[in-house]
């Protein structure tokens, strides 16, 4: 090839390449982009395939492990969390005899088992004329009160479940093995907003909080999971979806969540609920005495449980304990003052109630008491306090 022919060939080749590249540019595509459009990158293809095959259609592939765990807890447990409504009857007008139902409060609850038993707080259903329970699917059913233990703020109600509802027994966490810092998830109906989930941790254990039943509720779980009015009676769950406790109260100056909520532990719930379902009431052990109100202790500056009366034929009377009595001359003689049960110091009825809580009917305990300035200790076999409340036996005569 001559030098002139070579120059003409190079010129034609340059014109051809320039024309080809201009044509691609007008089509809005580079050779690299064209290749990418025809064959997606392996990484992108894998991500798209993973998203299509995800078991939960709404679950993005980028969720963290803790998020997936929280979502799983809600999907498994939320169906057994219900909204409990307290309804009371009221007259339409002052001069009318017509009666209507007035909602006076709502709270939460959770289904205990497949027999329709639902656990909630006593203060949620207190003084109710009628109770209704609303489920996640929007269905509302009437409920009946099975029993309650106001001193622990626990109540059991029951609905008639249809075939559309089927629940296994509520899984329980071991309250004795809880640790500060572990995950806590609350589900309930704050301010009537049902199926609301909040998350936090166990902030403290072993708290004692005054309950509505006149005694301290002990060993309560403190959590920073947001709990508001309406959450009462809802479950507090661990990372497995097991019941840690029942959300019961908050510490707040404003009435809304301040990050300090309290739950009755699952061990207490299990003991109380099991007894209510079996007996319709809680078996409260005792020794067959009636005590004075704590105001008397404060007025007299006495620590301990001052016995007002003992019931004849029951445990305290058999052990020789004396109640308060009036002499024939009108002088009032204070009864024995209980100051100890086994190794526990008793300063008030609250202490006595909680000391007996770990025992069962028939157990024998050593009870220490003061009489005439001297301390005495006697063994006493514990009884079911319902015997005294039913009036089995009579009050020991007050005159001596």
- pLDDT surpassing 70 at residue 368: yes
Q: Are residues 231 and 137 part of one domain?
A: no
Of 354, 357, 355, nearest in space to 366 by CA: 355
Inform me whether the pLDDT recorded for 34 exceeds 80.
no
The pLDDT confidence band at residue 254, using thresholds 50, 70 and 90, is low
Query: Which of 85, 108, 123, 351 is flagged as catalytic?
Result: 123
pLDDT band at residue 36 under the 50/70/90 scheme: very low
The verdict on 291 and 244 lying in the same domain is: no
Indicate whether 190 and 207 sit together in one domain.
yes
Contact 332, 343 (CB under 8 A): no
pLDDT over 80 (residue 393): no
235-239, 276-280, 325-329: the lowest-pLDDT one = 325-329
Pick the more confident residue, 87 or 256: 87
| Most confident by average pLDDT, 23-32, 57-66, 75-84 | 75-84
In this structure, are 186 and 147 located in the same domain? no
Same domain, 306 and 358: yes
| 265 and 294 both lie in a single domain | no
Helix, strand and coil content of the chain, in percent to the nearest 5, comes to 30, 35, 40
- Round to whole Å and give the CA distance between 337 and 347: 10
User: Which residues, at least 6 apart from 78, have a Cβ–Cβ distance to it below 8 Å?
Assistant: 136, 187, 195, 197
pLDDT value, residue 8: 57
From the list 153, 194, 224, 351, the catalytic residue is 153
How crowded is residue 109: how many other Cβ atoms within 10 Å of its Cβ? 30
Confidence of residue 336 (pLDDT cuts 50, 70, 90): very high
Average pLDDT over residues 40-64: 52
Query: Which residues, other chains included, contact 125 with Cβ-Cβ below 8 Å and sequence gap of 6+?
Result: 84, 86, 107, 131, 145, 148, 155, 157
pLDDT (0 to 100) of residue 108: 94
Q: List the Cα angle 11/17/21 in 5-degree steps.
A: 145
What is residue 255's predicted lDDT score, i.e. its pLDDT? Answer: 60
Q: Which long-range contacts (CB under 8 A, 24 or more apart) does 269-272 make?
A: 269/119, 269/154, 269/172, 269/243, 269/245, 270/172, 272/149, 272/152, 272/154
Q: In the prediction, which pLDDT does 256 show?
A: 62
Q: Does 123 score more than 90 pLDDT?
A: yes
What confidence score (pLDDT) does residue 388 get? 66
Lowest-confidence region among 153-162, 172-181, 206-215: 206-215
User: Is 153 one of the annotated active-site residues of the chain?
Assistant: yes
The CATH number of whichever domain residue 143 belongs to comes to 2.40.10.10
Q: Is the pLDDT of residue 9 over 80?
A: no
The last residue of one of the domains, among 114, 129, 158, is 158
Tell me the percentage of the chain whose pLDDT exceeds 70.
Answer: 76
Examine residue 274 and state whether it is found in any structural domain, yes or no: yes
Is 113 among the residues known to form the active site? no
In a domain, 6, yes or no: no
Q: Are residues 111 and 204 in the same domain?
A: no
Contact 118, 157 (CB under 8 A): yes
Question: Quick one: average pLDDT of 307-334?
Answer: 91
For residues 371 and 346, membership in a common domain is answered with yes
Q: Are residues 240 and 187 in the same domain?
A: yes
Task: Select from 317, 283, 304 the least CA-distant residue to 389.
Answer: 283
Q: What is the pLDDT of residue 161?
A: 83
Q: Is 374 within the bounds of a domain? A: yes
Is 105's pLDDT higher than 90?
no
Residue 43 is predicted with a pLDDT of 39
Assigned domain for 394 exists = no
- Is 31 contained in some domain? no
Regarding whether 359 and 294 lie in a shared domain, the answer is yes
**What's the average model confidence in pLDDT over 377-387?**
90
- Is residue 10 included in any domain, yes or no? no
Residue 378's domain comprises 285-389
What is the pTM (predicted TM-score) of this model? Answer: 0.72
* 249 and 319 co-located in one domain: no
Write down which residue in 279, 310, 343 finishes a domain: 279
Check whether 395 has a pLDDT greater than 50.
Answer: no
Q: Give residue 146's pLDDT.
A: 95
Whether the CB-CB separation of 355 and 348 falls below 8 Å is answered with no
User: Cβ(266)–Cβ(173) under 8 Å?
Assistant: yes
Q: CATH no. for residue 376?
A: 2.30.42.10
Annotated catalytic residue: which of 108, 175, 203, 232? 232
**Tell me, what's the pLDDT at 191?**
81
Residue 140 domain-assigned?
yes
Mean pLDDT value of segment 260-275? 93
pLDDT for 216 equals 83
Whether 277 and 146 have beta carbons less than 8 Å apart is answered as: yes
Please say which residue of 158, 186, 211 terminates a domain: 158
Label residue 371 by pLDDT band (50, 70, 90): very high
pLDDT for 176 beyond 90? no
Does 290 share its domain with 228? no
* Catalytic annotation present for 232: yes
pLDDT band (50, 70, 90) for residue 12 = low
| Mean pLDDT of all residues in 109-137 | 93
The mean predicted confidence, pLDDT, of the chain is: 81
Residue 72 belongs to a domain: no
Which has the closest alpha carbon to 123: 244, 271, 246?
A: 246
pLDDT confidence tier of residue 165, bands split at 50, 70 and 90 = low
Point out the least confidently predicted range of 89-98, 185-194, 196-205, 293-302.
Answer: 89-98
Q: How many domains does the chain have?
A: 3
């Amino acid at each position: 090839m001559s030098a002139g022919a070579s120059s003409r060939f190079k010129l034609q080749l340059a014109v051809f390449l320039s024309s080809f590249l201009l044509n691609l540019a007008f089509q809005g595509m580079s050779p690299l982009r064209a290749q990418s459009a025809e064959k997606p990158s392996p990484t992108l293809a894998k991500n798209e395939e993973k998203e299509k095959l995800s078991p939960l259609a709404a679950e993005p592939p980028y969720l963290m492990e803790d998020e997936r765990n929280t979502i799983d807890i809600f999907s498994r447990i939320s169906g057994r969390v219900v909204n409990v409504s307290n309804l009371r009857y009221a007259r339409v007008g002052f001069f009318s005899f017509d009666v209507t139902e007035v909602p006076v409060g709502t709270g939460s609850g959770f289904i205990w088992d497949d027999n329709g038993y639902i656990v909630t707080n006593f203060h949620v259903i207190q003084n109710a004329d009628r109770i209704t329970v609303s489920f996640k699917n929007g269905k509302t059913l009437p409920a009946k009160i099975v029993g309650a233990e106001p001193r622990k703020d626990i109540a059991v109600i029951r609905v008639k479940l249809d075939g559309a509802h089927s629940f296994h027994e509520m899984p329980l966490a071991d309250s004795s093995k809880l640790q500060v810092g572990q995950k806590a998830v609350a589900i309930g109906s704050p301010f009537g907003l049902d199926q609301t989930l909040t998350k936090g941790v166990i902030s403290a254990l072993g708290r004692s909080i005054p309950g509505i039943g006149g005694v301290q509720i002990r060993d309560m779980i403190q959590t920073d999971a947001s709990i508001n009015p309406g959450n009462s009676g809802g479950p507090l769950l661990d990372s497995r979806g097991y019941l840690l406790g029942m959300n019961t109260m908050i510490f707040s100056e404003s009435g809304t969540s301040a990050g300090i909520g309290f739950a009755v532990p699952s061990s207490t719930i299990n003991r109380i609920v099991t007894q209510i379902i079996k007996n319709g009431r809680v078996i409260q052990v005792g020794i067959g005495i009636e005590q004075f109100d704590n105001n008397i202790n404060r007025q007299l500056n006495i620590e301990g449980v001052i016995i007002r009366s003992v019931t004849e034929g029951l445990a305290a009377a058999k052990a020789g304990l004396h109640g308060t009595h009036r002499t024939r001359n009108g002088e009032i003689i204070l009864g024995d003052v209980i100051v100890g049960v086994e190794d526990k110091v008793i300063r008030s009825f609250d202490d006595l109630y909680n000391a007996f809580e770990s025992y069962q009917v028939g157990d024998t305990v050593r009870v220490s008491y003061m009489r005439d300035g001297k301390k005495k200790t006697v063994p006493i076999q514990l009884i079911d306090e319902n015997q005294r409340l039913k009036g089995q036996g009579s009050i020991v005569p007050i005159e001596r």
